[in-house]
Structure 1
Amino acid sequence: MEIVLSKIISDIKRMEDKLSSKMLKTVDEAYQMLLYLQELLYTVKTKVLQTGFVNGAQEIDFFKNIKPQIMGKLIYYNKVFRIEIACPVSNGKLYNSYYESQLRKLKSEYIETICHEDFYRYYRAGRSDRDEVYFRLGQINYHDGLKSGVFEIDLGFSTYYDNKIARIIANELLYTYLVTKIDPENSPDSIIVDKNATKDISWTNSQNALIELIYAIYASASVSHGEISIRKLALIFQVLFKIPLNDIHHAFHRMKTRAGSRTAFLDQLKAALEEYMDKDLSY
């Protein structure tokens, strides 16, 4: 049996991009991803149960790297779906208050159930010396005082710790999602840069121009080799320039169908740079 991590990640990303291009509401996009990932997990599980693993290294790779990527995204999109269907309003103070409360709940869960565990430090340190214990089937040691969730897992398709990694991945994705939903300028939880160092920095062109730039960077895989979501990339620019971008997917769709150049801002950038280069040569 061979399941390649890079293919799993690229397949998931391709589905995310496909749904984003359809301009679905967040709740509908989350629901469609939930169905897709559930089917993907079932397909992978069937393959694993039918063929097994060639050796211990392949088994460890699957439960440490591959399954948590699928399960983590599945948990994440399920949480997004639940959050979105319960949101009382579409804007205003109550809207912000709702997402801030969800963010506080996420932080509390992280403190209570994740960050103080030895396994979390093991995983974060990138260690591999206990992989044989954590990521091989049938190695669960109940003397460790594990939480009751261990009795709910399928012991033929889980080592217990693969689920823990999945929840770490899901929580990190959910944190980014919630921060994005809150106005970056007013939210105390959205600081990823020093505000004092960037207080005089502002975006002075249009929002559409910034969205065009963000999508160009995303499409060219210029940040993190393309392993960053469009939402997270947009968040970085929102926080840096203290500007809300609202629904970037709808804005991007309008760009694709607008008259004239579809890359008006990038054309403008190219012309401005060439003019600057010509001016510099004249000195």
Structure 2
Amino acid sequence: MEIVLSKILSEIRHQEDKLSSQMMQTADEAYQMTLFLKEMLCTIKTNVLQDGFKDEHREIDFFKNIKPQILGKLIYYNKVFRIETTCPVSNGKIHQSYYENQLKALKSEYKESICNEDFYRYYRADRTDRDHIYFRLGQINYHDGLKSGVFEIDLSFSTYFDNKIAHIIANELLYTYMLTKINPEKNPDTILMSGDTNKDISWTNSQNALIELIYALYASNSITYGKINIRKLALIFQVLFQTPLNDIHHSFHRMKTRAGSRTAFLDQLKISLEEYMDKDL
């Protein structure tokens, strides 16, 4: 079976959108995504163990690009479920403090277990010269002094380093998630950009218009080839325009069922642009 990254990402996104439209609690949505991704990974594992890989290129692509995307999101959603089901209250100072402490723990894990490793620098530099070592089965060199986690994975379906990429992906998703739970104005160290750079920029249309634009960019894969999470994309716009957005998933669901045009803002954008173009004729 040919395993294609774009197809995998599309299936994951479809399931995320499907669950979001059902207006579940965050913990329930995370739990359902955990089950979905676990099943997806088990199915792919069965196929890989049965059929293997046609060549070295496909094997490297699978363990470097495909499996980490699935496993990374699986780790992420499982962690979100654990975070949400242990949160003491739904709002207030204790709620705020809880997520701040979770963010501190995440940063600590990043510093201690991720960013200081040679492999992290290799991965971030988009290098490929050691891919044949890092992302092929049976290439683990125990003389490198690997962490004991290497003995806890199934080496018939892991090169060890694919797990490392998965944890990097999960860490980044969790970081974004924490930012959405914490008010950036009360936590300057978590703001994505300096307040001075965008203090004069504001969104002057409706919240629904902005959400419609965000989803259009997300659905068209216009930002980082569609690899960016919808929550992260929404957060970027919230910080850029200093405009809080409430539950974007519920707002999007309402747009899908509203009377008249479901893309009212995008329709108006097209009209406005064409009128602007006509002025120069």
TM-score (structure 1 length as normaliser): 0.90
Q: Which amino acid aligns with 2:149?
A: G
What is the alpha-carbon distance in structure 1 between the residues aligned to residue 93 and residue 212 of structure 2? 29
Task: Indicate yes or no: 2:210 matched with 1:200.
Answer: no
What is the alpha-carbon distance in structure 1 between the residues aligned to residue 170 and residue 15 of structure 2? 17
Work out whether residues 179 and 189 of structure 1, in 8 Å CA contact, stay in contact via their aligned partners in 2: no
What is the alpha-carbon distance in structure 2 between the residues aligned to residue 53 and residue 269 of structure 1? 47
CA separation of 1:10 and 1:158: change in aligned 2, threshold 3 A:
same
> In the alignment, what sits opposite 1:102?
102
What is the alpha-carbon distance in structure 2 between the residues aligned to residue 19 and residue 192 of structure 1? 28
> In the alignment, what sits opposite 1:58?
58
> In the alignment, what sits opposite 2:136?
136
Q: Which amino acid aligns with 2:34?
A: L
Q: What's the offset of the Cα at 1:130?
A: 1.5
Q: What's the offset of the Cα at 1:61?
A: 1.8
> In the alignment, what sits opposite 1:190?
190
Q: Deviations over 1:92-131 (max 9, x none)?
A: 3322221121111111000000111111111111112222
- Look up the SS of the partner of 2:190 in the other structure: coil
The count of corresponding residues between Structure 1 and Structure 2 is 281
What is the alpha-carbon distance in structure 2 between the residues aligned to residue 249 and residue 89 of structure 1? 22
Q: Deviations over 1:11-46 (max 9, x none)?
A: 212211222222222111111110011011111111
CA separation of 1:54 and 1:253: change in aligned 2, threshold 3 A:
closer
User: Which range moved further: 85-94 or 25-34?
Assistant: 85-94
User: Which range moved further: 252-261 or 130-139?
Assistant: 252-261
Q: Deviations over 1:227-256 (max 9, x none)?
A: 322211111111011122121111222233
Alignment of 1:1-283 (within 5 A): 1-273=1-273, 276=276, 280=279
- Look up the SS of the partner of 2:20 in the other structure: helix
Q: Deviations over 1:127-168 (max 9, x none)?
A: 122222212222222221111111111121111111111101
Q: Deviations over 1:165-197 (max 9, x none)?
A: 110111111111111222233332432223112
What is the alpha-carbon distance in structure 2 between the residues aligned to residue 47 and residue 260 of structure 1? 46
What is the alpha-carbon distance in structure 1 between the residues aligned to residue 56 and residue 275 of structure 2? 60
Q: What's the offset of the Cα at 1:213?
A: 2.5
- Look up the SS of the partner of 1:62 in the other structure: helix
Q: Deviations over 1:48-102 (max 9, x none)?
A: 1111222322222221121111111111111111111111222233222211211
CA separation of 1:133 and 1:93: change in aligned 2, threshold 3 A:
same
Q: What's the offset of the Cα at 1:275?
A: 5.3
CA separation of 1:179 and 1:189: change in aligned 2, threshold 3 A:
farther
Work out whether residues 190 and 239 of structure 1, in 8 Å CA contact, stay in contact via their aligned partners in 2: no
- Identity across matched positions, percent: 75
What is the alpha-carbon distance in structure 1 between the residues aligned to residue 155 and residue 76 of structure 2? 22
* Runs of at least 5 residues in structure 1 that lack an aligned partner in the other structure: none
Work out whether residues 34 and 74 of structure 1, in 8 Å CA contact, stay in contact via their aligned partners in 2: yes
CA separation of 1:92 and 1:261: change in aligned 2, threshold 3 A:
farther
Q: Which amino acid aligns with 1:44?
A: I
User: Which range moved further: 184-193 or 83-92?
Assistant: 184-193
What is the alpha-carbon distance in structure 1 between the residues aligned to residue 94 and residue 214 of structure 2? 29
Q: Which amino acid aligns with 2:21?
A: S
What is the alpha-carbon distance in structure 1 between the residues aligned to residue 18 and residue 143 of structure 2? 46
Q: What's the offset of the Cα at 1:270?
A: 4.5
Runs of 4+ residues over 6 Å off in structure 1: none
Q: Which amino acid aligns with 2:148?
A: S
CA separation of 1:202 and 1:94: change in aligned 2, threshold 3 A:
farther
